[in-house]
Every structure is written in C-alpha cells, then in structure tokens.
Structure 1
Amino acid sequence: MTVGDTTSGAGEEPGSDSSVHATPHHEVDHTVEPTDDPLAIRLEALILGADRRYTPFQAARTAGVSMDLASRFWRAMGFADIGQAKALTEADVLALRRLAGLVEAGLLSEPMAIQVARSTGQTTARLAEWQIDSFLEGLTEPPEPGMTRTEVTYPLVELLLPELQEFLVYVWRRQLAAATGRVVQAADDDEMVDRRLAVGFADLVGFTRLTRRLEEEELGELVESFETTAADLVAAHGGRLIKTLGDEVLFAADDAGTAAEIALRLIEAMSQDETMPALRVGIAFGTVTTRMGDVFGTTVNLASRLTSIAPKDAVLVDGAFAKELIRHGDAPESEAQAAEAVAAAAERGRVAEKEGREPDDEPPLPTYRFGLQPMWQRPVRGLGVVEPWLLARRGKTGS
C-alpha cells in the first residue's frame, strides 16, 4: 500500500495487494526512523504543526474524501510511499478537505486541482531543500561542545519558521499579482496560453569539464553564483526567470529590447568575474505556450539550438528577434542605414547653422541600443535552416 494507492472510496480499508504507482520527481518522505529523542519529536511537530496520527486511509476518511482522489492529490504533491503508517497530521486532513471543497464548490475542476497540487508540491519541494541547505551551511559545527545537531537546529527553526512562513505568503502574493496583471493585459483568451515572447537560454561554456576539475563544494558555489547573478539581472531589467538548470538558465521577456539588454548584461557580468567560465546566450522571438510557469514550443527549441552554436561571450538571435529590434527602433536595419542617419543628422546641423537656427530644433539623431550582424545560414536539427544574427551593444551616438 502506498500513499498513491487508488481505491474506489473512503469506505473500505485498502488491501495489502494494491498496486504501487509512480511518484513525481520531488518526493516528500513521510516515513521517519523511530526515535526516543524528545527534542527531535518536538522539532518534527513544530515543523509539521501537529503530531502524526493518521494513516492515509484514515486521513482520507476523516476529510470526507475518496481514497482515489486523496491518492491523486498526494501523488501530485510528490508524497513518497508510506504504506499504512500513521504519518499524516490534522494539517494533511485539512489540506485534503480544502482541495476537495474547491472541486465540490465548482471553483476548480478536478484536473485543475491536481495541477495546483502538483505545481505547489514541485515548487515548495525545491524551496525547502534550498533553504535547508542554506541553513545547514552555518551549522557544520555545533556552537558549544557536546551539543547535538537537533539541539542546535530546534531554536533556529523555532525562530525562523513563523517569519519564513509569512515571507513565503508575501512573495507568493506579489508574484500572483504580477502574473494576474499579465493575464489581464492579454488581448484574448488564446494569448493567455499562446503568447509572443522573447525566450533566451544562457549557458556556461565548458561546464562538463569543470565538473571533473572542481571539488563538489567549489562547483556548488559556482552554480549558486551564476544562478544568483542571472536571477538578479533578469528581474532588474524586466524579464522573468523561468527556471535554472545548473549550468543554464531560461528566461523570457515580453519584448525583444528587454531580452537583448538582459542577454548582454549577463555576458558583461560573467566576463568581469574571473572565477566564472565563459557564457553564451541564444534568444528567439515568437509564439510560446505557457503552462504551469514553464514555456514550450518551437520558439523555445530554437533558442536552445542557437545557444548551442553561439560563440563564447556572445549572443545569437533568430531572424524574428532581429526584426522586432529593428521594428521598435532598437537596432538599425544595417550599418549602412546607421551611417546614413549620422550623415543626415550632420547635414541638418550644417543647414541649421547656415540658417541661424539651433541644431536642437531638428529631429534628434536616432539612438540605436543594439547592433545586428547576420551570420551564415545553417541547418539546425529539427528546425530546418536558420539565419542567426550576432547581437552586440552599440554606442549612444548611433554610430
């Protein structure tokens, strides 16, 4: 019997021969080794908010939820197999009751409730591991001789837990407000799912070789530094960090200019850090399917392929992205066009001077933030022939 067992309802105790179902990648292990340490028991109760008292069957029955639905919720949240151990608490019962209540009230469909459980479980699983790793970095040695890890951890958790819980809700509300704003601004329902976005991958060059050369701690510090820098730059310049993959980050932006600025800032930041390997970035612009905080589609695949062929410390973009930059006046169609704009501005200045007018009365010289250099067309596996463009930063004079 597992937390993922599916029986027809809450009215029958599950049998011992039930099938075992696969669990998601992030699993919450509810089983614990027996302990006589009262402080360890108190620590667990502090974190869970209550004592363990229910088997999965008992929790489902108490919540008034069928075992089938409860099992699907638990699998979606990433709960590991626990048999019929008394591993669940009043909080587990309340969570079941709330999710099932949303379905019964018609506020969420059953598939949507499963998605909510899955997205929340996956996100918080990584968050919890991330935070625990950070906390334990400062607990490698007990502060006083003879103190156990539990004795050190308990007061820390007791102080941090309520504050972090409130902080988590605060950040979630801010992110929910931002996501809701993007939905409200969408032109129609289709745009809520399929949107035109700039999508970029930033990839550390030679990361596989680094994994063989660096110690695990050094490698972890390098990845953390890269992810932190990338997250800060993406957020500061108006983009959204979709996910981090160790040696690679995926980001998105609503317009090409924002994505271009982020990409070049990433290259510049990494190149100034002697401890970091070279970086390469690929960006594509087009229709993207957004689902559960992730992005999918041909545009995403193209951005990934462009990253794989990009030179070190360089940004490659696709033709659609280049056209967006040109259309919004962020880049010239060609260097010849930029030179013509400079020459025309100089001529206007001479005419204004001859006529006794201030040159400032004339239209300003176009200011292009970026430059584009076409590269050789090349076949890209699964996407046909593409013409990448090399993106660079231009001076403020337009020349």
Structure 2
Amino acid sequence: MSDGSQSGDAPADDEPRYSRDELGVALNLTPERLDRLWNAFGFARRPSDDKMFTQRDVDALTMLTASSDVIPEDEQVATARAIGQTMARLADWQADMLLNLARDESVPWTPAQMARAVDVVQRLVWRRHLKVALTRDSEADDSAAAQSQRLAGVRTTDVVGFADIVGFTSLSRRIDMAELETLLEAFEDRVHEVITAHGGQVIKTLGDAVLFTNSDVPAAAHTALAIQETVADVEPVPALRVGMAYGEVLNRHGDVFGEPVNIASRLCGSARPGTILVDSPLADQIVDDEQFRIRPISPLSVRGYRRLKASTLGRPRAARDH
C-alpha cells in the first residue's frame, strides 16, 4: 500500500508478534544463552506468552547475537550488561522526574505523553553522540588488529580527572533532601558544562564526584582550573577538589580503567579544598607552559602508593593578580 501499511497476515515491523521464547527461536539461541542475555539486560526470567517483541527487535538483536565469530559470547553479554545498567539508571531517574511533573496541576501532559517526548529527545541526543564517536573512531587505525582491539576496549593516552565536593558526607547529613538535590544539580550542571566546553568527556557522575577525560593535556589543565574558579562560585556548591593523572587508559563500555584512574582518584582524595593535584607525568607535560604554575609537593602515602609524586596546579602569579 502507498501509505506503507501492510495487510493480511503480515504485521508491520513495529507490531509485536514474538513472545520471549519465540524471540529466542527467531534468534536461533538456546534457552540458556537467551536467559544469559536477558539477565544481562537487567530483566528477570519470568514465563510469559505476551507478544512483546517486533520484527525490528529481532533484526536488531540478530546483529548482536549472530556475530559470535567477531564478538565472543562473553563480550556480547558484557555489552548487554553495559546497556542494561545504563538504561535502568536512566529509566529510574526519568520515571521519578515524570511522576513528579505529573503531580503538578499546572503541567498539562500525562506521564505517557511526556515519556513519548523523552523517547524522541533521547534518541536525538544519542544519535548526535554516536555520530561524534564514530567520526572520532574513524580517524584511528582501521587495521584488523586495531579493530579487534577496539572490540575488547580502546587503549588511549588521556588525562583522567576527578572533581568532588569536599565534606559531602557530613554536609548531606545537615541539609534536607530538597537542598541536597539543588546542590547536586548545580554541581553536576556546572562541572559538565566546563568539561565539555574544553573538549573533554564526562565519563560518569558518582554522587558528589565527576569522572572525566581529555586527550588534550593543556585543555585538561584549563578544565581543572575552570572548575575551581567558576563552579565553586555557584550557589550552593561548597569547596571542591580536583585530582588528575596522565597515561594509558582502557576505554570499555563507556567507562575507563587503568592506573591513571586510580591515581587521579587518590590525588583528588588527598587534595585540599579549592586545590588541584596532578601526577608527575601530567606535570611534566605542562611544567614549561607559561599558562600554568606547577609546584611539587612532598610524596603522598595513599592506598596502593607509598610515595606518590604529585604537584599542585594553578595559574601563574601574574595571571592571578589580573
């Protein structure tokens, strides 16, 4: 038909026609493997004859499950787990937000209507981020070895930074939930803005802390300085501290791993309120840059490192005077 609809026994691609068990048959998966993927996505195994899945679902999942020669089964499960955990957290937050809005009599939309709008916006934002990420990856080595490595995780040399709120635990005990929400919102909003403005990437938010990366060392240094100079002035955010380290990290399923991550975390925990601590490899990269002031401190004894060399990062005195 000219309008794209289908007639007879052929349902449209977006019309549910598969139960969970029928989905496994269509994907040519054993019940055990289907259960493993289903659990990795974050769903419990419950018998159901409900037709929940469309042909589009089958086509998309086929690209994941039929690629065992390229993506091992364990990696497929890890991918499903990363998607499931991310989507579960996002959905929980969105549900709370939509239900709170629905309680406001001045809001004219139902939760279902707002959920449809969120779905559209979410896909729009995701497509833009995916396009940027694909463009970035296309500039890397496209050899077979490099492609294989990217499936297991991307190894890059980056600055890893942590920024957190000083004394957050005790502070959270003294203020009510509304004040706590306002504080975290102001902190996250401003820190994210600073990180992205300097070309960095927010990896994740950990309550009172933000983990970020930047492949450009001077830009990362400017990020830390901007966090201390601008975010702490935003009410009601209290004093902040920042720790940064430079080196090879493993990027896997939207997270980062490696020694620079551990060192940055230790430095952030050791930094005084309102200060920035950086490790030696990072300090060596910018010690001769007149935009920054590097001052070595006594070696730190922190978990995993008995004598961790570090320096404070700041503006040159002349720049601060202006």
TM-score range, shorter chain: 0.7 to 0.9
**What letter is aligned with 1:129?**
D
Distance 2:222 2:129 in 1: 22
Moved more, 379-388 or 286-295: 379-388
* Equivalent residue number for residue 293 of structure 1: 254
Could you tell me which of 356, 375, 379 is aligned with 2:297? Answer: 375
Q: Deviations over 1:180-220 (max 9, x none)?
A: 33333346836972221100100101110112111122212
Could you tell me which of 282, 305, 310 is aligned with 1:388? Answer: 310
Distance 2:140 2:59 in 1: 34
What percent of counterpart residues are identical?
34
Aligned-residue offset at 1:63: 5.1
1:185 and 2:149 aligned: no
Aligned-residue offset at 1:243: 0.4
* Equivalent residue number for residue 29 of structure 1: none
1:236 and 2:197 aligned: yes
Distance 2:16 2:271 in 1: 54
**What letter is aligned with 1:238?**
G
1:247 and 2:208 aligned: yes
Distance 2:166 2:321 in 1: 32
Aligned-residue offset at 1:255: 2.1
CA gap 1:69/1:396 in 2 versus in 1, 3 angstroms: same
Could you tell me which of 202, 220, 230 is aligned with 2:163? Answer: 202
Could you tell me which of 14, 17, 24 is aligned with 1:60? Answer: 24
Distance 2:65 2:16 in 1: 28
Alignment size in residue pairs: 300
Q: Deviations over 1:2-36 (max 9, x none)?
A: xxxxxxxxxxxxxxxxxxxxxxxxxxxxxxxxxxx
Name segments (4+ residues, structure 1) moved above 6 Å. Answer: 49-53
**What letter is aligned with 2:292?**
F
CA gap 1:306/1:87 in 2 versus in 1, 3 angstroms: farther
Aligned-residue offset at 1:238: 0.6
Q: Deviations over 1:302-342 (max 9, x none)?
A: 1000011101011010111111113xx5x2xxxxxxxxxxx
Distance 1:286 1:184 in 2: 22
Structure 2 residues not aligned, in runs of 5+: 1-13
Distance 2:280 2:249 in 1: 16
* Equivalent residue number for residue 38 of structure 2: 74
Relative contact order (C-alpha < 8 Å, sep 6+): which is higher? 2
CA gap 1:380/1:186 in 2 versus in 1, 3 angstroms: farther
Could you tell me which of 162, 169, 174 is aligned with 2:128? Answer: 174
1:304 and 2:304 aligned: no
Distance 1:88 1:234 in 2: 44
Give the CA RMSD over aligned residues: 3.0
Aligned-residue offset at 1:245: 0.4
Distance 1:127 1:220 in 2: 17
Distance 1:386 1:277 in 2: 27
Structure 1 residues not aligned, in runs of 5+: 1-48, 145-151, 332-367
Tell me the TM-score normalized by structure 2.
0.82
Question: Is the partner of 1:313 in helix, strand or coil?
Answer: coil
Aligned-residue offset at 1:58: 4.4
1:158 and 2:158 aligned: no
**What letter is aligned with 1:293?**
G
Aligned-residue offset at 1:88: 5.5
Q: Deviations over 1:271-311 (max 9, x none)?
A: 21241121000001111111111111111101000011101
Distance 1:321 1:225 in 2: 29
CA gap 1:273/1:169 in 2 versus in 1, 3 angstroms: closer
Distance 2:159 2:92 in 1: 31
Aligned-residue offset at 1:259: 1.1
Equivalent pair of 1:70/1:96 in contact (CA under 8 Å): no
CA gap 1:301/1:88 in 2 versus in 1, 3 angstroms: farther
